[in-house]
Chain A
Amino acid sequence: MEQLRYLLGIVTLALVAIAGWFIFNLLTDDDLSDQFHLRLTFEDVRGLRAGADVRYRGVRVGQVFEVQVTEDGSRALVRLVLSDGVDHLACQNSKFWIVSPRFDGLENGATGLDTLVRDSYVAFLTPNPSGPRLGPNSEVSGNERPFRNPDEAGLDPSRHGDLHMWLHAAESHGLVVGSDIRYRGISTGDVRRIELAEDGTHVVMQLRIQQRYRHTVTNASSFWVARPRLSGALMSGIAVEDLNALLGPYISYHSESERGVPVHDGFRTVANEVRPDIDDEDLQVPPQQAPVFESGDPDSGVRLVEVNYEAVEEDWMSPNDVAKRKSTGILFIDQAGRAVVVTARTACDGSYFMLDTFGDPDIKSETVSVAIPGGIVLRAGRSWIDPGGQDLALLVVEGAPPDLAVTAAENLDFEFDDADSASATLQKFDRTMQTNLGAVTDLDAARGSVAVHQDRAGGILAQVNGSDATPVIVPLSRLPAELRPKQ
């Protein structure tokens, strides 16, 4: 019995030794050898404790390893460890912040309320697309405030061609991420980010203007925060402005016709404190932007479209150059099933034809759209340019309806040669010009016209290259096989 008691004691001590080794390893496992550690610095960790959670999208993916003050005492240092298999979530554009109870005013409300009844924790989020992955033991400066990903704030995703600009205002007046931006009462975009200026003197807001409305913003536009506001005196009567902003403030702007030039991405301007006086008496009906015309010669089978191009080229020494071109193109379906338009490169690529005194043109913004016969206007983007430098390009049409009438493959002639050019007739998108190459006098008016030979389109009226405006017919045979229609 006594031996059994001793045996029990020895077994117990052996178990204690194993347990002690386990605990010792837990406590001394800070050599970063097999754990993915990160070092975050904050101005204030708001009572964060070692052992608190690290969460990604609310899922616990690690623990706070250590909380201490940096050697110089200027920041709080938080060391955290991520669980195995999730370290790829931490990227260089990841945002780390401490979730604790916060009240950010009536506009943004309270956040981190869950930490009223639980410990503060570290949250992080990696916007899409993610940046390069962080290495082990990287040091990152944490956000002092909760990070809200604009792409995930219930907003429409940004699209190619949207205008992103910055608006500086004295205060936010209750604007939040996602607040509307209106031009003459029409919603043209939304607020993507609101933050305090570094020096704290004002608010900086990032605005997103949809691509189709970006021309409404010029460097002469006036911005203001639309909100209910009383003005005037008792004796003269009280005016109530922007009453429709009662449900939520929004940003409004106004651009006078013929004033200013379109702005580029990153444009910065200052908001007016109040709504400026707008004289609308000069309003006139603008010319029709998307022409409605016949669908073309039904017998020819060649579907022509109007290609509209607008670009702003920034000049350092002079006002920006603005190029607007209206050309013709051929609409067909390529091998990949995409609705594409072949046209002259000088009809859709400012960098090709716009000249700059000091080297290559600096294109700040450009828009390409395609007007389909029948009045539909679709956005388009360059998909291919002639690698040989000739004046030929291919546009891809976005959002083309499935029943769109396109040029059949048998109506395109990829064997078209110089001999055919002499006898071919040129057709513009509105079919107002039917002539031949020798009769072309106004290249800008006829640019992109299609050379038709024996009822088949074989080439595009273009110029020799971006700088030589001599009219030539570029044969469609220069298109690579994969961009041609299916036979």
Chain B
Amino acid sequence: MTAAPSAPAIRFAGSGLAFSSAAGDREILRDVDLELPRGKLFLLVGESGSGKSTILKMLAHLWDLREPLPRMTGEVFVLEEPISRNYPAKLRGRVQAVLQDEGLIDELSPRGNVELGLRKAGRSVKLALGLLSQAGLEAPPETVAQLSGGMRKRLAVARALAGEPEVLIFDEPTAGLDHEAAREIAELIERTQREAGDGRTTIVITHDLPAFRGLADGVMWLDRRERAVRLLPPDAPLPSGDEDPEVEQDDAESDIGFHGLRRFLLSFGALALVLFDAIIRLPPVYPKLVMRTVYRYIVEPAFFVVIGCATVGGLATFFALRNNPLEGAFTASVLTGSGKVLMAVLIPLLAGFFFTARIAAGASARLGTMKRTSQVAALRVMGIRPADYLLIPLVWASSIAMPLATLCGMVMTCVFSCFAAALVSGISPFGWSRAFFAEVDYTDVRYVILKTVISGFLVAVQTYHLAMGPKRSGKEVGQAVNSSIVLGIYTVLVVHAILTLIQFG
């Protein structure tokens, strides 16, 4: 829905914005009244730590739900929709942002990134090449990793344009570029704004005013001392900076006391939301993505799980038979006992461990990196729910692949157990099978499937939750990977223990 042409794109009406933290309250905006007309290109400038990125998060609703949300007073209207209390779903896609580190989905090709935006906007993917060309990427490389800094910015612009946003916000689009490249990006932004006309309003957060000289329609000056936003003519001199010692603090430093408890409770609340999403949104929105993920999660850990289980099964049988009171004695009894405990309890548990170690680590590292590099935020600004794009494929894949990997592990356990039994006692495969499976029945198989499906589901939810937590450094990504493995294994252990007790208790 497009607002009336006369209505401002963004309107602050007595707006205030402040954070509460253990170090005290920090105010960003205070009683701001401001209107930004449509069809213009504005620069948002201010000193470092003045709250420019915070305003971007507010306008594009990029708050991290694991962090305490800011206090908002007054009202802010975006495309005539109030956003202070609830961010309207109808604004998703209409308000887009190009983040400072672009948030390019590095699993996709450059063209795939643009196609993702087109697909979400309901437009034909055939437009991708045109958008890339429009952004100055006539021949993009195969992977995102091959892009230079300037090319990444151009690709981010092309992807943002794919959604035809009515409000487009750039966060330091020229950061890290030389003057010539920065000017090219600035001209690209201005050109796209000019081509869109009144249909789009562009806000560029930047420190690089020379790059945009003569291109902007106005400058929004974020007054750090007054906590106000002033709209200045494009060529007006900027007020001199104040000496307010207050600087934007790392949120992690305030993770103490009451605020630490809030973060802890928010984390649990987020876990509940993830669990809720994993159930409610289970019907896949991206079925091909789900299928690809399922295939990958079956194939990737297969060797690791199978070799692990086969080794355990073979060695267990070997030493069970070998360490009898008399060598070679009680072959049938030992095989029967081994078969039951291996098939019903031990191998499913170990397979769960192996699978979790292999998959949870990879998934957590991947998702954590996506969170750290703003890919998750990029999905959100494109109007794509991370739960649909990241969680549900993971849930499906883990819930399907873990039982399959476990069954594969059980099969190879049988083979190696058979070899070991033949080696120690000379029993034939037929005799081994009779003894090994004498006490194994379909109930065991049903419980194994139940255990692994539940374990796979919970490991997926937990991995996603840990990976989607705040990632302000690579260290936190590493911690998430570590926690995913350890807690995943604990989860598998608990699920298997409970169901095993139910089965045999």
Contact = CB atoms under 8 A, between A and B. Distances in A.
Contacts of A35: 430
Contacts of B328: 118
A132 B488 CA distance: 64
B436 interface: yes
B431 A51 contact: yes
Nearest to B421: A51
> How many residues of B sit at the interface, in one of the four size bands?
35 or more
B434 A50 contact: yes
B412 A16 contact: yes
Nearest to A11: B303
B397 interface: no
Given A23-B433, A118-B331, A51 B302 contact: no
Nearest to A81: B430
B329 interface: yes
Interface residues of A, number: 32
B298 A13 contact: yes
Select the residue from B328, B428, B433 with max chain A CB neighbours within 10 A: B433
Interface in B405-437: 408, 411-412, 414-415, 427-437
A358 interface: no
B320 interface: no
B303 A26 contact: no
B89 interface: no
Interface stretch (B174-182, B231-239, B332-340): B332-340
Contacts of A10: 299, 302
A239 to B, nearest CB: 52
A52 B436 CA distance: 11
Nearest to B331: A119
B410 to A, nearest CB: 9
Nearest to B438: A50
A27 interface: yes
Interface in A280-307: none
B433 A26 contact: yes
Contacts of B433: 23, 26-27, 51
Contacts of B296: 6
A279 to B, nearest CB: 61
A79 B409 CA distance: 30
Interface string A147-191: 000000000000000000000000000000000000000000000
B333 A49 contact: yes
Given A63-B430, A118-B328, A119-B332, A51 B411 contact: no
A8 interface: yes
A57 interface: no
Interface in A1-38: 5-6, 8-13, 15-16, 19-20, 22-23, 26-27, 29, 35
Interface in B203-222: none
A464 B287 CA distance: 110
Nearest to B326: A117
Contacts of A16: 302, 306, 408, 411-412
Contact of A117 (B329, B335, B427, B434): B329
Given A12-B303, A26-B430, A51-B432, A19 B412 contact: yes
A61 to B, nearest CB: 11
B330 interface: yes
B428 A83 contact: yes
Contact of A26 (B302, B330, B332, B429): B429
Nearest to B299: A9
B411 A23 contact: yes
A440 B343 CA distance: 96
Given A19-B411, A83-B428, A50 B435 contact: yes
A5 B300 contact: yes
Interface in B180-201: none
A201 to B, nearest CB: 39
Select the residue from A16, A49, A50, A63 with max chain B CB neighbours within 10 A: A16
B299 A6 contact: yes
A225 to B, nearest CB: 41
Given A16-B408, A119-B330, A65 B302 contact: no
A394 B35 CA distance: 141
Contacts of A51: 331-332, 335-336, 427, 431-436, 438
A262 to B, nearest CB: 54
Nearest to A79: B434
B309 to A, nearest CB: 10
Nearest to A62: B431
A66 interface: yes
B330 A9 contact: no
A49 B439 CA distance: 10
A392 interface: no
A22 B429 CA distance: 10
Nearest to A48: B332
A117 B437 CA distance: 22
B329 A52 contact: no
Nearest to A52: B332
Interface string B248-265: 000000000000000000
Select the residue from B303, B336, B408, B414 with max chain A CB neighbours within 10 A: B303
Contacts of B326: 117-118
Interface string A45-58: 00001111100000
A170 to B, nearest CB: 41
A35 B430 CA distance: 11
Nearest to B417: A23
Given A51-B431, A118-B329, 8 more contacts: A6-B299, A9-B299, A16-B302, A22-B415, A22-B429, A23-B411, A53-B332, A119-B333
22 contacts: A9-B299, A9-B300, A12-B302, A13-B302, A16-B302, A16-B306, A16-B412, A26-B430, A27-B433, A49-B336, A51-B427, A51-B432, A51-B434, A51-B436, A52-B332, A63-B428, A63-B431, A63-B434, A81-B430, A83-B428, A119-B330, A119-B332
Closest 7 CB pairs of A and B: A51-B435, A9-B299, A63-B431, A26-B433, A51-B434, A51-B332, A118-B329
